[in-house]
Structure 1
Amino acid sequence: MLYGTPRLEAIDRKVLDEIEEMRRDLKYRLAETHRWDGQLRRQLQARAIQGSNSIEGYRASVEDVESIMSGEEPLETSARVAREIAGYQQALTYIQLLSRAAVFRFDAGLLHGLNFMMIGHHPDKTPGTVRSGGIYVRNSATGEVVYEGPEAERVPGLLDELVSWLNEGDLDAPGYVRAAMAHFNLVGIHPWRDGNGRMSRALQTLVLGRDQITTPEFCSIEEWLGEGRNTYDYYDALGARQRRSWDPHDDMLHWVRFCLRAHHMQAQRVRRRLAEAGEVWMLLEEQVDAEGLNTRAVSALYEVFVNRRLRRSRYQADESLSQGQAARDLRELAAKGWLRPYGETKGRFYAPGPRMQAIKDDFAGRITPLRDPCR
């Protein structure tokens, strides 16, 4: 028996309608191709990877996550954390492909495979195979057991039940609700020795991706869940309904409401970023054109607008340039006050120069707070 899908109330349907309206608007805007789309998608995926891993204590900057995604050595992140980031990226990349697959069904093998992608670098944790013993979640500060997973011999049957539900259960429920329940049930079963939290959040993203609402990077709430106080609220929402052990019940509305609020807040943020991307790109194009610079330089300037730093190799790959062309462009942008270089050789990167910082400060002053749909 799994945890049951709750019946929504009027306030929940109102929040859900607003989420779906924002997602439809995003889908409409994304139907038209823009120069900044690729970078925006990459940044959203990097933030989702950063958020989900930070919940587990694997912390890395967005810039280092992007470096790891492109196969580069990160500037600050340890090799241990970089392996976790790379494994999670591999799984999310596969989820992106599965979201668009013409033929698809959930099965236990898929879930085991995704777990192996995430933690395959930990052979001692038997990645991709059902745990053989009990499992406990502890409070990292006190060591107290806050949740005990179901007995190991029950796990295969529970996974089969979850897979059957993913394919056939509650199909009339909104996708956001089904995704939330998939997340909760998988993390409750806790089928593997490691990676259960990340797998559950990734499964939530996959369920939404299969709904074809928007692509996974635009519908994930992993960034939101991984931020500061939100992470504590996330643990509180899980704990309030898990009741310390596997004990399926139908009183899940509080959990679903938590997830709907997270989707609403993240959708506001993504919509704002998409609108901002267009405005910033056009502004930078005007500046580059006025100074007689090559239009491709906008790509480099946009990268340092949204992130703290840019590496030559990323700009080179984004614009399909030779090493010499990319280096010359960045030197020219630094000479004109757009960028500021730091470091040497492989550790060299470019941060916003005074002219770019002025634009960043101007946009930062215009940002309006997100609206909490539950208040």
Structure 2
Amino acid sequence: MLYSTPDLEPADRRVLDEIEEMRQDLKYRLAEPHRWDGQLRRQLQARAIQGSNAIEGYRASVEDIESIMSGEEPLDATPSVAKEIAGYQNAMTYIRLLSHARVFRYDVGLLHALNFMVIGHHVDKTPGTPRPGGIYVRNSATGEVVYEGPDAEQVPELLDELAAWLNTGDLDAPSYVRAAMAHLNLVKIHPWRDGNGRMSRALQTLVLGRDQITTPEFCSIEEWLGEGRITYDYYDVLGEVGRRRWSPHGDTLSWVRFCLRCHHMQAQRVRRRLAEAGEVWMLLEERVDAEGLHTRCVSALYQVFASTRLRRGMYQADEGLSPGQAARDLRELVKLGWLTPYGETKGRFYGRGEKMREIVAEFAARMVPVRDPYAA
């Protein structure tokens, strides 16, 4: 028996309608390709990876995650954290591909394979195989047990039931609700020795991707879940539903409502970023043209606008340049006050120069806070 999908109330259906309206708008905007789409997708994916790993205590900057995604060594993240980031990136890349696979079916083997991608570097934790014994989630500050998973003997049967439900259960429920329930059931089963939280969040993203809500990087709420107070709220609502032990009964509406709120607020943020990306890119094209620079330099400038830091290898790869071409462009941008260089040799990167800082400040001044859709 799994946790059951709740009946929604009018307020939830109103929030769902608003989310759907934003999704349709986003889909319309993404239908026409733009030069900034690739960078925006990479940044959203990096922020999702950052958020999901930060919840587990693995912290890395967006810039370091983008470097890892591009095959470069991170500047600040420790080797152990870099392995966690790389593992999760592999799983999310596979999820992006699975979202568009013509032939697809959920099965337990897929769940185990994704877990192996996430924590395969921890061979001592038997990645990709069911835990052999009990499992306890503890409060990191007090050591108190806050959740005890079901007995290990129950795990195979529960995973079979979850896979069957993913294929055929509650198909008339909204995709956002089904995805939330997939997350809840997997994290409560806690089938592996490690990686259960990240896997549950990844499964939620996969369900949305398969339902063609939009591409995974645009529908994930992992960035939102990894932020400050939201992470505490996330743990609080998981604790409220099911309490301290596996007990698949009772009301799950508070969990679904929490996820809907996160989707709504993250969608507001993503829609703003997409609109901002187009406006910033056009402004930078005008400024670059006025200064006699090659149009491709906009790619470098947009990167430091959105992520604060640029490395030559990333710019070189984004624009298909030789090392010499990329280095010359960056030197010219430094000379004209667009970029500021830091570090030497392999550790060299470029931050915002005075001209870029002015543009960033201008856009920050007009930023409108996201609103809580359930607030009066």
Q: Which TM class, normalised by the smaller chain length?
A: over 0.9
Counterparts of 1:350-365 in structure 2, within 5 Å, are 350-365=350-365
Look up the match of 2:20.
20
SS in structure 2 of the partner of residue 155 of structure 1: helix
Name the counterpart of 1:305.
305
What is the alpha-carbon distance in structure 1 between the residues aligned to residue 249 and residue 288 of structure 2? 60
One-letter code aligned to 2:200: S
Deviations 1:68-97 (A, max 9, x none): 111110000000000000000000000000
Which residue of structure 2 aligns with residue 69 of structure 1? 69
Distance 1:180 1:214 in 2: 16
Secondary structure of the corresponding residue to residue 274 of structure 1: helix
Please state if 1:7 is matched with 2:16: no
C-alpha distance in 1 between matches for 2:231 and 2:243: 19
* Corresponding residue of 1:246: 246
Matched AA of 2:253: L
1:148 offset after TM fit, Å? 0.1
Partner of 2:166: 166
Q: Indicate conservation of the 8 Å contact 2:22/2:267, yes or no.
A: yes
> Partner letter of residue 62 of structure 2?
V
1:146 match: 146
- For the 8 Å contact 2:136–2:148, the answer to whether it is kept is yes
Deviations 1:320-345 (A, max 9, x none): 00000000000000000000000000
2:340 alignment partner in structure 1: 340
How many Å separate the matches in 2 of 1:205 and 1:117?
Answer: 16
- Asked if the contact 1:24–1:213 (Cα under 8 Å) also holds between the matched residues in 2, the reply is no
Q: Among all aligned residue pairs of Structure 1 and Structure 2, give the percentage whose two residues are the same amino acid.
A: 79
Shift of 1:250: 4.1
SS at match of 1:188: helix
8 Å CA contact 1:6, 1:250 repeated in 2 = no
Q: Which residue of 2 aligns with 1:81?
A: 81
- How far apart are the structure 2 equivalents of 1:148 and 1:316? 49
SS in structure 2 of the partner of residue 100 of structure 1: coil
Q: What residue is the counterpart of 2:57 in the other structure?
A: 57
For the Cα contact (< 8 Å) 1:139–1:146, is it kept in 2? yes
- Return the alpha-carbon distance in structure 2 between the equivalents of residues 331 and 124 of structure 1: 47
Deviation at 1:134, TM superposition (A): 0.3
Identify unmatched segments of 5+ residues in structure 2. Answer: none
Structure 1 distance, partners of 2:11, 2:149, is 33
1:260-275 maps to which residues of 2 (within 5 A)? 260-275=260-275
Cα shift readout 1:44-79 (whole Å, capped 9, x = no counterpart): 000000000000000000000000111110000000
Distance in 2 (alpha carbons) for counterparts of 1:90 and 1:106: 18
What one-letter code is carried by the residue in structure 2 that aligns with 1:59? Answer: R
Letter in 2 for 1:357: R
Counterpart of 1:175 in structure 2 is 175
1:131 corresponds to: 131
Normalised TM-score (structure 2) = 0.99
Residue number in structure 1 paired with 2:321: 321
Q: d(CA) in 2 for partners of 1:119 and 1:70?
A: 20
- In structure 1, give the amino acid aligned to 2:71: G
**C-alpha contact (below 8 Å) 1:51/1:227 kept by paired residues:** yes
Is the Cα contact below 8 Å between 1:147 and 1:242 reproduced in 2? Answer: no
- Matches of 1:284 and 1:159 in 2, distance apart? 51
Aligned residues of 2:242 and 2:249 also touching (Cα < 8 A): no
Corresponding residue number in structure 2 for 1:33: 33
Q: Distance in 1 between matches of 2:173 and 2:296?
A: 46
**Structure 2 counterpart of 1:116, one-letter code:** F
- Unaligned 5+ runs, structure 1: none
- Aligned AA (2:320): S
Once the two structures are TM-superposed, the CA of residue 213 in structure 1 deviates from its matched residue by 1.3
TM-superposed deviation, 1:242: 2.3
2:41 aligned with 1:47: no
CA distance in 2, matches of 1:203, 1:247: 21
Work out the CA distance in 2 between the residues paired with 1:233 and 1:285: 42
CA contact (8 A) 1:285 1:298 kept: yes
Q: TM-score, normalised by structure 1?
A: 1.00
Give 1:80's aligned amino acid.
Answer: S
Paired with 1:332 and 1:307, the residues of 2 have a C-alpha distance of 20
- Count of aligned pairs between the two proteins: 375
RMSD value, Cα: 0.4
Where does residue 106 of structure 1 map in the other structure? 106
Contact conserved, 1:221 with 1:266, CA < 8 A, in 2? Answer: yes
Q: Does 1:221 align with 2:210?
A: no
* 8 Å contact kept, 1:136–1:147: yes
Residue of structure 1 equivalent to 2:116? 116
* 1:308, distance to aligned residue in structure 2 (A): 1.6
- Report Cα offsets for 1:136-159 as digits up to 9, x if no partner: 000000000000000000000000
The one-letter code sitting in structure 1 at the alignment partner of 2:202 is A
Task: Specify the code of the residue in structure 1 equivalent to 2:335.
Answer: A
Q: 1:92 maps to what in 2?
A: 92
For the residues of structure 2 that align with 1:256 and 1:322, how far apart are their CA atoms? 49
Separation in 2 of the partners of 1:232 and 1:182? 20
CA separation in 2, counterparts of 1:281 and 1:354?
18
Extract structure 1 runs of 4+ deviating beyond 3 A: none
Within 2, Cα distance between the matches of 1:284 and 1:250?
54
Task: Give the distance between the partners of 1:320 and 1:181, measured in 2 at CA.
Answer: 43
2:157 alignment counterpart: 157
The one-letter amino acid of 2:351's match is A
Report the more deviating stretch, 236-245 or 264-273.
236-245
Distance in 2, Cα, partners of 1:250 & 1:10: 20
Contact 1:288–1:298 at 8 Å: present in 2 too?
yes
Hey, what's the Cα distance between the residues in 1 that align with 2:323 and 2:6? 56
